Amino acid sequence: MSFLRFKRLLSLAGMFVAVLAVASVAHASPPFETETWFYSDDTLTTEVGYRLVPCTGSIHREGEMSSYSVHYRGESCSGGIGNNCVACYGFNDIGEKDQLACPLHVLMYFGVSEC
């Protein structure tokens, strides 16, 4: 086999590996199904938007995103046992966006613990 033919074969093999790597990243599923509800303020009572990321990795959005949100982590995408939990986000005492303690009405609605 000539050097040029070997070099061309090696180049084609490299491109094949690169395409496989990109395809595997593009079709990687998230570890958990997640849902996020967005609210108008820190009371987390007036919903203004919603986002769903199912195990397929596609993203479904409705309404507006805001700084106040409830993030629900659902079932495991790998088929294992899920670790369902909820996390609430908003602004802390010094004005930075942060994970906050969820209000009781949120915990009761979801029936799960905080993440």
Question: Quick one: CA torsion of 100, 104, 109, 110, rounded to 10 degrees?
Answer: 50
Question: Which residues partner with 20 through β-bridges?
Answer: none
- Going by the DSSP 8-state scheme, the letter that residue 95 receives in this structure is S
CA distance 97 to 83: 24
> Residue 70: helix, strand or coil by DSSP?
strand
Residues with pLDDT less than 70, the chain: 1-27, 81-82
Query: What tens digit of pLDDT does each residue of 61-77 get?
Result: 999 999 999 999 988 88
pTM: 0.69
Q: What pLDDT score was predicted for residue 16?
A: 45
Identify which of 95, 41, 99 has the alpha carbon closest to the alpha carbon of residue 73. 99
CA distance 71 to 36: 4
CA distance 36 to 66: 11
Average pLDDT, the chain: 81
CA distance 83 to 95: 30
Q: What pLDDT score was predicted for residue 8?
A: 55
